[in-house]
């Protein structure tokens, strides 16, 4: 029996990975401190093969839970850009120290491979699209900087201790269970919430910013491909679609909306993102299967 551990497994992406691992027949340990401020609820799969542990990876000793674990999916993080600008200390504690502790526990317990959930936000402003994993990083905020530092921890543990790890840089994930809470919720969840509440959708700036939106099922599939691949023992891969849309176009796709209202631009956000996924397709044998125009109103 394969045993997998998922940090942050009660959140948006993590809970979907837990469901997929359950479907694949894994025994699963979930570690989550249930503190993500953007989540209005947390998600549980009440199966006998799934153990839930309420602990903070950056503060609590979780080493015993890594015993006899084959694969670790590390998603626990502070994951919104704007809130981390106001609280960088908490962001670096969870995203950097927390990652180092996860890697150390994985090393001590001879985990076969760690899959690290990264971010496309570290490509910054200076790189030309489409973004490729070998481009220099240009972190504009504590969130992207801390997630890049987490990648470096993964790299260090592979170089020093041969602990295998795959880094997946996500591009604007959306789908069922996406965060809806607060003004900094991911844009699709925010728009859908506002439409449901009978409010106009709030567009930051002119709405011509472009993003590569990735459906949750494709992100989950990339994680599973990351533990199966024999093409590499450590590398960084983009998880996107290779297609981007203006935010104003996304607003036009939302059913039953009452239109939009423009609000001031925000600090430290990029103008355009677009994933180059050639290496992901080649090495992980993964393909995005869902288009936003087909999925955005399906849940």
Show pLDDT as tens, one digit a residue, over the chain (299 residues). 999 999 999 999 999 999 999 999 999 999 999 998 888 899 999 999 999 999 999 999 999 999 999 999 999 999 888 888 989 999 999 999 999 999 999 999 999 999 999 999 999 988 999 999 999 999 999 999 999 999 999 999 999 999 999 999 999 999 999 998 888 789 999 999 999 999 999 999 999 999 999 999 999 999 999 999 999 999 999 999 999 999 999 999 999 999 999 999 988 788 999 999 999 999 999 999 999 999 999 99
Domains of the chain: 3-174+213-241+274-284 (3.40.50.720), 187-210+243-272 (3.90.25.10)
Q: What is the pLDDT of residue 76?
A: 98
Determine the Cα–Cα distance for residues 115 and 127; give it in Å rounded to an integer. 25
Cα 200 to the chain's mean position, in Å? 27
3-state secondary structure the chain: CCEEEEECCCCHHHHHHHHHHHHCCCEEEEECCCCCCCCCCCCCCCCCCEEEECCCCCCCCCHHHHCCCCEEEECCCCCCHHHHHHCHHHHHHHHHHHHHHHHHHHHHCCCCEEEEEEEHHHHCCCCCCCECCCCCCCCCCHHHHHHHHHHHHHHHHHHHHCCCEEEEEECCEECCCCCCCCCCCCHHHHHHHHHHCCCCEEEECCCCCEECCEEHHHHHHHHHHHHHCCCCCEEEEEECCCCCEEHHHHHHHCCCCCCEEEECCCCCCCCECCECCHHHHHHHCCCCCCCHHHHCCCC
Instruction: Count the Cβ atoms, other than its own, within 10 Å of residue 134.
Output: 8
pTM of the model: 0.96
The two beta strands, 201-204 and 260-263, are parallel
The two beta strands, 27-31 and 3-7, are parallel
Determine the Cα–Cα distance for residues 259 and 93; give it in Å rounded to an integer. 40
Q: What region, left, alpha or beta, does residue 213 occupy, with left being phi > 0 and alpha being psi -120 to 50 degrees?
A: beta
Determine the Cα–Cα distance for residues 118 and 171; give it in Å rounded to an integer. 9
Q: What region, left, alpha or beta, does residue 232 occupy, with left being phi > 0 and alpha being psi -120 to 50 degrees?
A: beta
The two beta strands, 214-215 and 173-174, are parallel
Determine the Cα–Cα distance for residues 215 and 289; give it in Å rounded to an integer. 9
Minimal CA–CA distance to 234: which of 137, 145, 118?
A: 118
Residue tagged active-site, from 43, 123, 143, 245: 143
Which residue(s) pair with 204 in the sheet? 263
Instruction: Count the Cβ atoms, other than its own, within 10 Å of residue 108.
Output: 13
Whether 44 is a known active-site residue: answer no
Determine the Cα–Cα distance for residues 288 and 240; give it in Å rounded to an integer. 7
Q: What is the pLDDT of residue 266?
A: 85
């Amino acid at each position: 029996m394969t045993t997998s551990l998922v940090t942050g497994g009660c959140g948006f992406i993590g809970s979907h990975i837990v469901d997929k691992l359950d479907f694949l027949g894994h025994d699963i340990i979930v570690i989550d401190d249930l503190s993500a401020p953007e989540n209005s609820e947390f998600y549980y799969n009440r199966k006998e093969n799934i153990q839930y542990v309420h602990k903070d990876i950056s503060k609590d000793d979780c080493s015993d839970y890594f015993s006899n674990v084959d694969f670790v999916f590390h998603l626990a993080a502070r994951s919104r850009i704007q809130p981390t600008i106001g609280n960088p200390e908490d962001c670096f504690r969870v995203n950097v120290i927390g990652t180092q502790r996860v890697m150390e526990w994985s090393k001590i317990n001879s985990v076969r491979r760690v899959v690290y959930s990264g971010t496309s936000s570290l490509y910054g402003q200076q790189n030309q699209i489409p973004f490729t994993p070998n481009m220099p990083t240009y972190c504009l905020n504590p969130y992207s900087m801390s997630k890049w530092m987490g990648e470096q921890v993964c790299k260090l543990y592979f170089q020093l201790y041969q602990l295998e790890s795959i880094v997946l840089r996500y591009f604007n994930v959306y789908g069922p269970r996406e965060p809806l809470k607060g003004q900094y919720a991911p844009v699709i969840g925010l728009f859908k919430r506002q439409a449901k509440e009978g409010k106009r959708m709030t567009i930051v700036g002119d709405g011509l910013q472009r993003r590569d939106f990735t459906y949750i099922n494709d992100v989950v599939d990339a994680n599973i491909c990351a533990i199966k691949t024999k093409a590499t023992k450590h590398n960084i891969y983009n998880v996107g679609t290779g297609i981007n849309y203006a935010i104003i176009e996304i607003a036009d796709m939302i059913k039953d909306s009452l239109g939009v209202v423009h609000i001031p631009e925000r600090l430290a956000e990029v103008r355009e993102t677009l994933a180059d996924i050639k290496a992901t397709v080649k090495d992980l044998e993964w393909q995005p299967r869902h288009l936003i125009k087909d999925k955005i109103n399906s849940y």
